[in-house]
Amino acid sequence: MRNKISLLISFLLIGFYSQAQVFVPGSHFEHTKRLEELKKDSLPYLTIQPSIRYESEGFSLIAPLSQTSLNTSYARSYNDGPVWKGKGLTQELHAGFQYKKGLFSATIYPVIFASQNASYPLASVNPNQNPYNYQFGLSPKFDFVQRYGNSGFIYAHPGQSEISFGNDHFRIAASTQNFTLGPAAYNGIMMSNSAPGFPHLMIGTPQKINLKLKNIELGKLEANVFYGLLKESDYYDSIKSNDQRFITGLSLGYEVPYIDGLTIGLNRVMYKNTEYFESRNLYALFRNDENKTNLLGDTLSLANDAFDQLASVFIEWKLPAEDLRLYFEFARNDFGGSFRQTLLEIEHSRAYTLGLAKVFFTKSGKDLYMAFEHTYLPRYDSYNYRPTPAFYTHGMNLHGYTNDGQLLGAGIGPGSVSDYFELTRYSSNEKAGFSLQRIRFDEDYYIARVKPNDFSKVLRHELELTLGLHYARQTGRWLWGIDSKFSYRFNMYYEKKNDKMNLYSNAFVSFLINQD
């Protein structure tokens, strides 16, 4: 229950001379990591981006982080991991430690937060949905919470915590940390930081592995498989048997030899209700041989429909000499039915992201970071003659691609389009910048409800324009800053001229324990 503390974690704070890093979703630390990864002397980009990094052996206190956020008009919370920011004030605290010895490593870094969760008008147009859930999806039900109940609450989550065993070539980890899949920085189609991290087992390579045949370079390979459990929110239904879903995923990244920084990759994720789990589902990523199953009283026409699937292919090119990163990801939701059908309609149930990031070095010693990302999730035209669920939804797995009521993929939501631009100046002890974002929400719902040639509805798209300003500074061991976003939302709930303005403001402070 979100109105109770769901988990109490006691942690021992000992030793603090070695470095420890945890990139809290949405924090200054995560933003700075993007710059570090892009500069020439940084580590190579990985297909799976974890939130935890180990620097040295021994015990390490992790810099505690306190953040206070405010939304003035409605809930707005993107890429914030376990912390959900409703209307009003949200106060969060992250603290913990790391330990590394030989092949063993552990991070305990939970978060506790209090949300005012103030009231604001909610849409109520779908009698099949809980009034606190999303009302506009094409699916009859969708576990995508818009407000967590009618009062404030305190909530705790293990946060960016894990226990792992392995070396640079192979690792196995039990974790609740957030991780992203694919190249996107802001709206990861396959896996983003928009939902709470879920308990999972990760098996694979913690970094890219060099492949060689005698003296011939064959490139670098990264491969990871994960198994986890997704949780239903308190605002979906009261059926206990469907409270959890099994999720499994595969991520492959291959860095092409002799072309610096060019990586191609594949991601695949499958999930289903645990009430239908079978042991062979553990290898379903590689061979899905389920028999036709009667799940809801109807025999499935396709055996693989017991699962919902998302898959993507991507290309990412980090040009070291230019401090430039270019990327493109093409994703599909649901199965194609057959290889022939997939070839004939590759665009069916597709989504895509393209983006770039660039660092400019100035004579004054400051780094200028520029980024742009375009994300497109609406359905392709094939929905006119064949069943096509909105992205992240499925007719058999009605909860959708969510954990505890928030999307595992792009937080903008199914059927939405986003354009994001950022320009940030970094120096040795401060950063300052601005961002611009345009989101057009759930075009799948909107278009499905517009009659042909009905021009009276042209001006009812739900659109949000956002200007963001951010500043952070380090003073001694203290790191502090503010991130503000002013949003103007046109036609909220698709009601003509129901425009709303929202000011989001986040102030944070962190004590850098390990700073010399």
Given a cut of 70, is residue 2 above it in pLDDT? no
pLDDT digits (tens, 9 = 90+) for 487-504: 999 999 998 899 999 999
CB 140 within 8 A of CB 133: no
d(CA 312, CA 307): 16
Is there a domain that residue 8 lies in?
A: no
Is there a domain that residue 127 lies in?
A: yes
Question: Could you tell me which residues come within 8 angstroms of residue 196 by beta carbon, excluding any fewer than 6 positions away?
Answer: 81, 82, 157, 178, 403, 404, 406
Return the structure tokens found at 310: 């998302």
Is there a domain that residue 312 lies in?
A: yes
Given a cut of 90, is residue 201 above it in pLDDT? yes
Our count of domains for the chain comes to 1
**Which among 353, 392, 394, 344 has a CA at the least distance from the CA of 371?**
353
Question: Could you tell me which residues come within 8 angstroms of residue 79 by beta carbon, excluding any fewer than 6 positions away?
Answer: 25, 26, 186, 192, 193, 194, 411
pLDDT digits (tens, 9 = 90+) for 317-370: 988 778 899 999 999 987 666 677 777 777 888 899 999 999 988 777 778 999
Is there a domain that residue 59 lies in?
A: yes
- The 3-state secondary structure of 447-487 reads HHHCCCCCHHHHHHCCEEEEEEEEEEEEECCEEEEEEEEEE
Domain that holds residue 432: 20-511
> For 251-273, what is the mean pLDDT?
92
pLDDT score, position 395: 75
Is there a domain that residue 444 lies in?
A: yes
pLDDT score, position 394: 82
Looking at residue 338, the DSSP 8-state letter turns out to be S
Hey, which residues does 508 pair with through a beta bridge? 67, 481
Q: What is the mean pLDDT of the chain?
A: 86
Is there a domain that residue 9 lies in?
A: no
Given a cut of 70, is residue 42 above it in pLDDT? no
Given a cut of 50, is residue 4 above it in pLDDT? no
Is there a domain that residue 516 lies in?
A: no
Is there a domain that residue 305 lies in?
A: yes
3-state helix, strand, coil in the chain (%, to 5): 10, 45, 45
pLDDT digits (tens, 9 = 90+) for 401-433: 999 999 999 999 999 999 999 999 988 888 999
**Full-prediction pTM beyond 0.75?**
yes
Q: Any idea what the CATH number is for the domain that residue 67 is in?
A: 2.40.160.130
Q: Phi-psi region for residue 208, left (φ > 0), alpha (ψ -120 to 50) or beta?
A: beta
